Amino acid sequence: MGYLLAAIFVVLVLGLSYGCYWVAFYNPESRHKEAVVTMANRGNVKQEALNEKMERTPYERVSIRSEDGLLLSARYYHLRDGAPLHIQFHGYRGSGVRDFSAGNDVVRRAGYNTLVVDQRAHGLSQGNTMTFGILERYDCLAWARYALQRFGPETAVFLSGVSMGAATVLMASNLDLPGNVVGIIGDCPYSSPRGIIRKICRDIHIPWALVSPFMTLGALVFGRFRLGQESAVSAVKEAKIPVLLIHGKEDRYILPEMSEQIRSNCASECYLEIFPGAGHGGSCLTDTPRYERVVRSFCGICLDRWEARKEE
């Protein structure tokens, strides 16, 4: 009888853990094709126009292998030879077209080439598990190394992301990034994977203390990653390149306080720009002229300092 009860307990724990994994981290291939996720912003006329513009712009489909063997895909938009490169990472259950059509337009008009990544378990990239930046940060490093190999050490590279993509690039800030990575831009990042999941649970009135053990076990057993392994806050404590944080003041999904926490822990030079009236990921659409000024100014500072270092 004791063995039966123990077996029932184990099955129950694993079942609840798998349920947490399935809800938070699992994204089957049937769900993450680009044609599906780019529909998310229908109804926003400005966003739709930018989506269509990005879809019409010619691009090259490129791919790399992740550290754990996944085939990762991206779109490369070439503007001119020798231009600096922005590598752009979209958010949770998002896509480059949905999350970066506005940001991509801004940096292309500023004269930059762009590499718009399909994060693992999204778009045309392989994988079924989203890890909130914990494994994606190594994909970010792999894309930066791809850029170094393809474009050479004289091409300056910026890592930029929105939402989970912002957390991804910030969580990569303490990795061994190539020397031509000159700046990081995070738009509405969360401070840690565990922190944002806890906040969402609180929003939908699910006790975090009850869910936490099953969420942690589900990530470990079924997703094969440790939920508390890394965070943006811990990573930026070792950051060596400038960081720009952007956050909508009316963001109720990822609170602006999370960007404040990241800034207060950042070891490198860190700027924070709050956009009044903007919700989650909406700063660029809410005030495009200011967004463009902020990004151009930051990139200019980073490029000037990189050129100065090369002359030393």
* Number of neighbouring beta carbons within 10 Å of residue 203: 10
Each of the 312 residues of the chain gets a pLDDT tens digit; together they read 677 777 777 788 889 999 999 999 999 876 655 444 343 444 578 888 999 999 999 999 999 999 999 999 999 999 999 999 999 999 999 999 999 999 999 999 999 999 999 999 999 999 999 999 999 999 999 999 999 999 999 999 999 999 999 999 999 999 999 999 999 999 999 999 999 999 999 999 999 999 999 999 999 999 999 998 899 999 999 999 999 999 999 999 999 999 999 999 999 999 999 999 999 999 999 999 999 999 999 999 999 998 888 776
Which pLDDT does position 228 carry in this prediction?
Answer: 86
pLDDT tens-place string over residues 22-60? 999 999 876 655 444 343 444 578 888 999 999 999 999
Sign for the pseudo-dihedral over CA of 40, 42, 43, 44: positive
Cross-sheet strand order for the sheet of 85-89:
60-65, 71-77, 113-118, 85-89, 157-162, 181-187, 243-248, 270-275
Q: What is the pTM of this model?
A: 0.94
Taken in order of first residue, the domains within the chain and their CATH numbers are 31-192+228-311 (3.40.50.1820)
Contact 21, 219 (CB under 8 A): yes
> What pLDDT does 1 receive?
66
Instruction: Tell the residue number behind the tokens 């151009």, with chain if given.
Output: 296
3-state secondary structure (DSSP) of residue 38: coil
Q: What token pair was written down for 269?
A: 């030079």
52/263 Cα distance (integer angstroms):
35
Predicted pLDDT at 38:
40
| Adjacent-strand bridge partners of 181 | 157
pLDDT of residue 45: 83
CB 52 within 8 A of CB 103: no
Cα–Cα distance for residue pair 279/63, rounded to 1 Å = 32
| Spatial contact of 245 and 273, defined as CB atoms under 8 Å apart | yes
- Do 43 and 97 contact (CB within 8 A), yes or no? no
Do 225 and 129 touch, CB atoms closer than 8 A? yes
